Structure 1
Amino acid sequence: MANFHNLNIKKIVRETADSVVISFEIPTELLTKYEYSAGQYISLMLDIDGVETIRDYSICSHIDEDLSVGVKKLKNGLMSSFLNSSIKVGDSIKVSEPRGRFTIQGNLNCIIAIAAGSGITPIMSMLKQVLLNTDKNFYLVYSNKSEKTTMFLSQIKELKNQFQSRFFVKFVFTSKDVASHHFGRITETNIFDMLKFPENKFKLLQSSIYICGPEKMIDNISLSLEKGGLLKENISYELFSSSKKDNLVSSESGDVLVTFTVDDFTSKVKSSKKKTILDTALDNDIDAPYSCNGGVCGSCIGKLTKGEVKMLNNTVLTESEIEDGLILACQALAVSDELDIDFDDV
């Protein structure tokens, strides 16, 4: 698993009726452990009603601000409900060191972000990083039910006023038609209308695209953008959950011999091919890294150095990374009878 440290809550800000921003105080001796790139996330570990619960939350702060995450209360969300109602300043929480691959890549001068709901949290960190530390232009399309449910609304408006020549934003509301804003949903059929830019500021085909929101929106929009001529490598996205994670069924039978390398320690175990590589590791007390267990976060990336696996869900790895042998252990099932998995060589 990731490395966790006890951090005290420094500040709690109520963003909307169902969301908060939680800021942490980092001791001097841990400052280097909590250096991060805009777009990364941390995991929070809490004991809730006697159950150890771990959830991932995207960092929404700038690197020069207190480490902060935005948490939106979800229906039947154990951790998000607890964080929205039962914590206070001074409480100590186990917080993982930052990680994640949804970060600003490449050197294109235009950044386009498409966010819906709490998908704005990693985008906020990117937005601040780009505006405060570069001369790049940033275009944001941001969808919510209404202004009242819009996280970071005041911050976004302040940044818009501060960087009028470089920051452009379109708010999209789905439940109320608000004057001067777009009404409806962001879809594959209207995305290009949403991305009509101020003259001489943005060239769509020469922009880096970052998408964060519901899975269906991400799938449809990214496919539409690719069909519209954008290079796949210029489109990045992050899911907070995946509907595909329960579809993991293996057609293979028999056993597999797996050699794991974790923290310079090698273990050999025998397991059923019906189990994922991650489950095989955890069932044998091997401390393989993981978090979401749904093929979304990328915490469980390992390198396959021998054998063959198949992954039935992948929203993290690129085709070239898969060709280089990288796998998501929580989604990988053995095909061959022997596997070597190295979690150190990633």
Structure 2
Amino acid sequence: MTDVECNTEAVGASIRSRRGVLVTVAEVIDESADARSLVFNVPEDQRDRFSYRPGQFLTLRVPSKQTGSVARCYSLASSPHTDPAPKVTVKRTVDGYGSNWLCDNVEVGDTLEVLPPSGLFTPASLDADFLLWAAGSGITPVMSILKSVLSEGTGRVVLCYANRDERSVIFAGELRELAARYAGRLTVLHWLESIQGLPTRAQLTGFTQTVFAGTARFEAFVCGPAPFMAVIKDTLAEAGVPRERVHLEVFQSLSGDPFADDTTAVATDSDDNDAAAVQVDLDGASHRLRWPRQATLVDVLIRSGVDVPYSCKEGQCGSCAATVLRGDVDMATCDILEPEDLAAGVILGCQARPVSDDIHIEF
């Protein structure tokens, strides 16, 4: 995720969010002409909360004179399997307040308030073959997946990485080193607009059909600007890649405050007369609860003391995505879910309300 915005309360004030964690900047790395990485030291007592999966993101709180602060979501470019500390990479964007502030002001030793890792752009297994597509700063979660697969998995990896020009390539040196170290498993293909022009759909379709020839094991992960992802999605479909093997990182602007302490008024016990019975499987535990009709699933789980994953509570980040195994629910907002996801029973817990009386949901 890149430069996703929402308004928040003042950073640096005496009162901080109970959800946020102060981390120390251990290292600042210039990755390209317009991108920097920030490596974080996480407090020892928060290490468990900051365990993450390849492809997930962190939400950073950035000071702002106009609004007190703004929040930005940045993908973790580090791998939980190869890197000792979490690292996010920030690319400057035109008129992007958060990205420019972070690139211009953050130094080693500074502290930032962040939320624990979140996101669904992550492989279910590292042992498949992977076709990775990235454009610009979309390389950040893809890099986390790539390094994790090469370190812990057994399959092959093909990366197609598009940029404006050679100066724009993030992680250029690291990609060269990985390609040399894993010469039998990793293929890196650079597409530079300054040399090759914008890729056409016909070119990409031909390339994809060649890559997929003779194998059905490839999992495709795509991250970049929306037009880039739309072209790749259509290209993969034309090449005959099954939709369930295509994973997209969807960017949305958040309008709420992900750092705010939760004060949402949820249904009280008196509403239980009009409630569904729900079984929620989460982190190896099963919870059986009453789910009032007017409450969202995330609110009910929070009220019950269950540590449910969520960030924006507005249906815009996907942190609370889950799957309905039994029963029916209704959702007010689901813009980030593809029709195929909805058909497969995927829901957003922060938007879901019960329809049927007996429901089984798995996170």
Partner of 1:190: 203
Partner of 1:274: none
Contact 2:158 2:187 (8 Å CA) reproduced: yes
Partner of 1:131: 150
SS at match of 1:44: strand
Task: Determine the C-alpha separation between the residues in 2 that align with 1:158 and 1:107.
Answer: 20
Candidates 70, 75, 91, aligned match of 1:58:
75
Give the structure-2-normalised TM-score.
0.71
Spell out, residue by residue over 1:53-111, the C-alpha distance to the aligned partner (whole angstroms, 9 max, x if none): 11111000121312101100111111111101011111110111111111112576311
Task: Determine the C-alpha separation between the residues in 2 that align with 1:320 and 1:132.
Answer: 33
Task: Determine the C-alpha separation between the residues in 2 that align with 1:80 and 1:33.
Answer: 25
Partner of 2:348: 327
Partner of 1:309: 331
SS at match of 1:20: strand
Deviation at 1:300, TM superposition (A): 4.7
Q: How does 1:65-104 map to 2 (within 5 A)?
A: 65=83, 66-104=85-123
Spell out, residue by residue over 1:136-192, the C-alpha distance to the aligned partner (whole angstroms, 9 max, x if none): 110000000111011111110111111111110110011x22xxxxx1234432213
Mapped pair 1:290 → 2:337: no
Give the structure-1-normalised TM-score.
0.74
Unaligned runs of at least 5 residues, structure 1: 178-182, 247-256, 272-276, 282-286
Deviation at 1:196, TM superposition (A): 6.6
Contact 1:308 1:339 (8 Å CA) reproduced: no
Task: Determine the C-alpha separation between the residues in 2 that align with 1:10 and 1:317.
Answer: 42
Q: How does 1:264-279 map to 2 (within 5 A)?
A: none
Partner of 1:43: 59
SS at match of 2:173: helix
Task: Determine the C-alpha separation between the residues in 2 that align with 1:314 and 1:124.
Answer: 22
Partner of 1:299: 319
> Structure 1 154/320 Cα, relative in aligned 2: closer, same or farther at 3 Å?
same
Instruction: Indicate the RMSD between aligned Cα atoms, in angstroms.
Output: 3.9
Contact 1:210 1:237 (8 Å CA) reproduced: yes
Larger RCO (CA under 8 A, 6+ residues apart) = 2
Candidates 205, 217, 220, aligned match of 2:228:
217
Deviation at 1:43, TM superposition (A): 0.6
Partner of 1:251: none
Deviation at 1:18, TM superposition (A): 1.4
Contact 1:108 1:207 (8 Å CA) reproduced: no
Deviation at 1:29, TM superposition (A): 2.0
Spell out, residue by residue over 1:312-335, the C-alpha distance to the aligned partner (whole angstroms, 9 max, x if none): 6233685367636x23646x8x9x
> Structure 1 39/270 Cα, relative in aligned 2: closer, same or farther at 3 Å?
closer
Partner of 2:29: 13
Aligned-pair identity in percent equals 23
Partner of 1:168: 187
Task: Determine the C-alpha separation between the residues in 1 that align with 2:127 and 2:244.
Answer: 12
